[in-house]
Structure 1
Amino acid sequence: MIPLVVRPEPQNHRLCEALRQAGHQPVATPLLSFAPGAELAQAPRLLGELGSRDYVIAVSVAAVNFADNALKTRGQPWPDVTYVAVGEATGRALAAVGVPHALVPDDPRSEGMAALPELQNPAGCRVLILRGDGGRDMMAPTLTQRGAQVAYCEVYRRCYRDDAGEQLVKEWQRQGVDSIIITSGGLLQHLFQLAADSAKDWLLSRLLIVPSIRVTEQAKALGFTHIINAKGASNPALLSALDERKRNDRQ
């Protein structure tokens, strides 16, 4: 298959390599990059104030990496607290910076994190959520209702590619793109907005690989009809979903 891969670097390159090894012909077009967030400078202080009964929730790999760089600049270690990662990739990112054994929910959404047994009774504890700009606001109200003191720290911001979408779509059509791998709702929305009205039907007719039920529902609302939920944004999960379709097409 010829999947379009729009996730940011370096994840884009790694996914494309895995796809090529599996016999696919990916078209790499990163539509998103990351920059330091408005509150990144505050991260070392906020992390340093936490105690052993407190929690840190990391919502993405980018959140972990930006916070880690800020800590290293200060020569400050990650605090000895309970860590929660939104998904397996974020859990691996925490392990890579010296924070093993992060809690990872089976459901890689806010709902999945809120259902973790360890977060059912956080009364009196502090919870610091490391995130990017424009993140979902479900976790703070939920944990606050359970008695926790919750704070957000915007450690990175998203920078979406905003050049001529019409030319990008024409290039994707020329290369024969037959499927699209999407790893977040924000990327899906931006991709849809990039396409001119005349290209919407072509875009909506592509097979769409998404990471979760929430993005599946978002895709259906936009008009996509050929959707596979990979149930995760890791390379193995995305590749397995695409290979499943490839096997079905051969039968």
Structure 2
Amino acid sequence: MNVLVTRPDLRGEKLTELLVEQGLFAIHQPLFMVENGRELPLLPSALGRLNSGDYVFAVSKNAVDFATQTLSETGFAWRTDLIYFAVGQGSANYFSAKSEQAVRYPLQSENSEGLLALPEMQQLQDKNILILRANTGREFFTEQAILRGAKVQVLECYQRIESAENLSEKISLAKRVGVDTIIATSAEILSLLAEKTLEMEQKWLFSCRILVVGERLAKIANRLGWQQESIIVSKKADNMSLLETLLTYHQS
């Protein structure tokens, strides 16, 4: 099994190291970089407008980092009368450490569906929810929360900027070194893979096994061109869960 890790930043590097430690060939080729979000200056006022008991949802560690840095630089702190959420245990623990507040997260499925299944998310009429995210992502959660009556504000804490390197060439390199398994942790990554792979290499791309997080991403992968039998689903997004899911599949 030869693995392409597309997860960006240090988490992607660490996952690649974990795979290599298990004797697998793995390369790390993130498809985008992360930069400051354009709406960060609005964060203090956005937090200030929330009512006591309203919700704040940080979609990732990147969102937590950029938001915490902005609050620190402007002399603000995370409010103690709000309810904080993350999508997974790793992000929740990280958010809690940075904010010094309790952070809730879904125990079973670390994705938007799991978050929406929490008891706190069932009655959202007139509840304000501030979502701290990238320039894209978590649209499904946003849509569902609005349908349940919530007033949602999305705040761009960071931007995913497409890698300045030639993505088609990076993907082509993965083919040339024998990659047969790809780890894709977001819908954006799946879309970039399908969009940037050269037409002559599309057959290879969709013949690769693809490891995704949750059934919704599995459906997106299937819709883009991967066959059901080539899609491996991890219930959780942390590196250890991804590693264990892949190793279990590899050994079966």
TM-score (norm 1): 0.90
Answer with 79-88 or 48-57: which moved more.
48-57
Aligned to 2:95: 94
Q: Distance in 2 between matches of 1:193 and 1:141?
A: 25
Q: Distance in 1 between matches of 2:216 and 2:141?
A: 16
Counting aligned pairs with the same residue, the percent is: 34
Q: Deviations over 1:118-142 (max 9, x none)?
A: 1223445432111221334444454
Identify if the C-alpha distance between structure 1 residues 135 and 167 changes in structure 2 by more than 3 Å, giving closer, same or farther: closer
Contact 1:65 1:93 in 2 (8 A): no
Q: Distance in 1 between matches of 2:221 and 2:141?
A: 23
Aligned to 2:199: 197
Contact 2:68 2:99 in 1 (8 A): no
Amino acid of the residue matched to residue 172 of structure 1? A
Equivalences, count: 248
Other structure's SS at 2:211 match: strand
Does structure 1 residue 237 correspond to structure 2 residue 241? Answer: yes
Aligned to 1:104: 105
Q: Distance in 1 between matches of 2:123 and 2:172?
A: 53
Cα offset for 1:155? 1.4
Q: 2:122 aligns with which of 120, 123, 131?
A: 120
Amino acid of the residue matched to residue 96 of structure 1? A
Amino acid of the residue matched to residue 29 of structure 1? Q
Identify if the C-alpha distance between structure 1 residues 173 and 120 changes in structure 2 by more than 3 Å, giving closer, same or farther: closer
Q: Deviations over 1:145-194 (max 9, x none)?
A: 55543322121121122543442233212322121111101001101111
Amino acid of the residue matched to residue 83 of structure 1? Y
Answer with 119-128 or 82-91: which moved more.
119-128
Other structure's SS at 2:136 match: coil
Identify if the C-alpha distance between structure 1 residues 242 and 38 changes in structure 2 by more than 3 Å, giving closer, same or farther: same
Contact 1:5 1:30 in 2 (8 A): yes
TM-score (norm 2): 0.89
Cα offset for 1:35? 1.5
Structure 2 stretches lacking a partner, 5+ long: none
Does structure 1 residue 207 correspond to structure 2 residue 206? Answer: no
Structure 1 stretches lacking a partner, 5+ long: none
Q: Distance in 2 between matches of 1:212 and 1:205?
A: 20
Contact 1:7 1:32 in 2 (8 A): no
Q: Distance in 1 between matches of 2:73 and 2:42?
A: 12
Amino acid of the residue matched to residue 73 of structure 1? E
Answer with 92-101 or 81-90: which moved more.
92-101
Amino acid of the residue matched to residue 155 of structure 1? C
Q: Distance in 2 between matches of 1:149 and 1:167?
A: 43
Aligned to 1:76: 76
Other structure's SS at 2:188 match: helix
Identify if the C-alpha distance between structure 1 residues 149 and 178 changes in structure 2 by more than 3 Å, giving closer, same or farther: closer
Amino acid of the residue matched to residue 98 of structure 1? S
Q: Distance in 2 between matches of 1:138 and 1:13?
A: 28
Aligned to 1:227: 231
